[in-house]
Amino acid sequence: MNRFHVASIFCITIGIIFFIIGFLKGEVEAGLIIIIPFISGSGIFAFLGFITIFLGVIIYLFSFTYYQNQYIEYLDKENLHDRSNKKSIKGGGVILIGPIPIIFGSSKKIALIMMIIAIILIIVTFILLF
């Protein structure tokens, strides 16, 4: 793990601790609307929890671009990076908005795998909630 991933995990962990402290003091509330979980708060611990978790997510996302640029600079410096011979990158994802999945992928095979993952996530969610 690199330093950005450690920093993001640290921020998210501290944010969760702030939420727990806020929950114990009565400043933070949690619940479900249909099957969508929510957290709301009106105190300093809720504010600090939201800020540190948001900061952790931003640091985590930044780490991908930072290390990718470092790697490309290294390849350019060592003359190992041939821009004419690019390899294709395949990827996909699942976004669950309540029970409704939004599935995307760079190929049919990836999209099919994402559909299977979405079905598994929905089933696990229903099992854990009921």
pTM of the predicted model, to two decimals? 0.51
Per-residue pLDDT tens for 99-114?
Answer: 788 888 888 888 899 8
Domain residue spans of the chain: 3-77, 92-129
Residue 36 has pLDDT above 70, yes or no: yes
pLDDT band at 17; cut points 50, 70, 90: very high
The one-letter amino acid code at 114 reads: M
Report d(CA 91, CA 51) in Å as an integer.
Answer: 30
Burial 30-49 (b: 16+ CB within 10 A, else e): eeeeeeeeeeebeeebbebb
Per-residue pLDDT tens for 40-75?
Answer: 888 888 888 889 999 988 888 887 776 666 666 666
Report d(CA 81, CA 128) in Å as an integer.
Answer: 47
